[in-house]
Copies of this chain bind each other. A is one copy, B any other.
Amino acid sequence: MGGLEWLGGGITSVPGILASGIHCGIKSSGKKDLALIYSSTPARAAAVFTSNQVKGAPVQVSMEHIKEGTIQAIVASSGCSNVCTGERGLSDAREMTTIVGELLHVPARHVLVASTGVIGRPLPMDKIRAGLPKLVKSLSPQGGRNAAEGILTTDRGPKEAALRLEVAGRPVTIGGIAKGVGMIEPHLATMFCFLTTDAAVSREALDWALHRSVERSFNRITVDGDQSTSDTVAILANGLAENQVLEKGSRSLRQFTQGLEAIAERLAKLLVKDGEGATKLVTIHVKGAKNHREARHAARSVATSLLVKTAINGQDPNWGRIMMALGKSPAVVQAGRVAIWFDDEPVVAGGQQAPGARLDRVREIMGRPEFTLSIDLGLGTGQAEVWTCDLSEEYVRINATYTT
């Protein structure tokens, strides 16, 4: 990816994209709780939603609106997820798209809506109705950071990324913002990621590129194994780069998708680093599995084990818990063939502690903010990578008291 250049900023680094974020009163803390992303021209859009069977009202409304493939605005709120709120929830979510549509002079069906926060409470619509005109007035080509702040819940801070790359000889920009940070698990758990680009992309191609990028980024992360009812990843492509429209199967689309994957991977890792109570980003790399699917099962079993995650938190080179997590996974594992490294330090060989294993050095590696746990199952050629974080007392503290 020679032509890939990281930029400052996020969604509004993309030409033709305006954004805003304000406090309207959903959060009692006074922090921003409404966000808006607006494309000055109707954009080609694609989206991926939570696979949880209990879907929030905004997810249901956005699933209807995305069908046509054209979206011009995304309105998001934080502090209340509008999930398990019945007919009223659906009508509230619809009303948000209607109000924003009227204010922006676009059809309501060209507006996506997303809400994150506590489940089971109705949105304070009076506050939102009063806030939306202010939100629209605040739209600005420098508003990306405000929007990034407007979607946060227990996140420690906003998450943005932007880059420029050449696609078929023309510069194209891609930007994104994301939020985590509990209920994080592959297959889209409480997280939003909103992406923008000025590339011209066909509908089918945009869908393909988004799914592929999500598969290689957000579907590789896990914080707590829970899966939210509100997850939404959406991309708006407004075509202002005036490149030849990217079509499925083309070399140019693959170039564009490399950039999209890079943005999604960066944002996904930011989510894990900011996992509730997390202090470390750990890459679990499994190779030597019978196939890719089994490698993924094994990596996920290690990445989600509470005993592995607490050992990482305590910088405890307790490799036996990794063996335990491998053994309980649905992947075929033969203990005597397993080898494990922490970064470049061998710890396990042939299913036992490696001769001369330097546990003090492993402890030192585990103290790093980022490290890789490499596992060779010694059975085949399947590989997979999952990104996880440690489990700290802070996670429990945050989640034992979230609604109160």
Chain A contact residues, CB within 8 Å of chain B: 51-55, 81, 83-86, 118-121, 182-183, 185, 224-229, 304-307, 310-311, 313-314, 316-321, 323-328, 332-336, 348, 350-353, 391-393, 395-397, 399-404
Contact check: which of B229, B317, B348, B350 meets A323 at CB < 8 Å? B229
Q: Which residues of B contact A84 (CB under 8 A)?
A: 320, 323, 335, 348, 351-353
Q: Which residues of B contact A227 (CB under 8 A)?
A: 324, 327-328
Cβ B310 vs Cβ A399 within 8 A? yes
| Docked pose: A353 CA to B320 CA in angstroms | 44
- Name the residue in A54, A227, A403 with the highest tally of chain B Cβ atoms < 10 Å from its Cβ: A54
Cβ B54 vs Cβ A323 within 8 A? yes
Q: Kindly provide the distance from the CB of A297 to the nearest chain B CB, expressed in whole angstroms.
A: 12
Contact check: which of B121, B306, B328 meets A53 at CB < 8 Å? B328
Cβ A327 vs Cβ B402 within 8 A? no
Report how many copies the assembly holds: 2
| Docked pose: A332 CA to B54 CA in angstroms | 10
Q: Which residues of B contact A314 (CB under 8 A)?
A: 399-402, 404
| Docked pose: A332 CA to B316 CA in angstroms | 40
Interface pairs (26), CB distance under 8 Å: A54-B327, A55-B327, A55-B335, A83-B320, A84-B335, A84-B351, A84-B353, A86-B336, A86-B350, A86-B351, A119-B318, A120-B319, A121-B353, A182-B307, A183-B324, A185-B328, A224-B306, A225-B305, A226-B307, A306-B395, A307-B399, A310-B395, A314-B401, A316-B400, A392-B396, A392-B400
What residue of chain B has the Cβ atom nearest to residue A327's Cβ? B54
Contact check: which of B81, B83, B317, B397 meets A393 at CB < 8 Å? B397
Cβ A120 vs Cβ B333 within 8 A? no
Contact check: which of B53, B83, B305, B310 meets A396 at CB < 8 Å? B310
| Docked pose: A228 CA to B323 CA in angstroms | 10
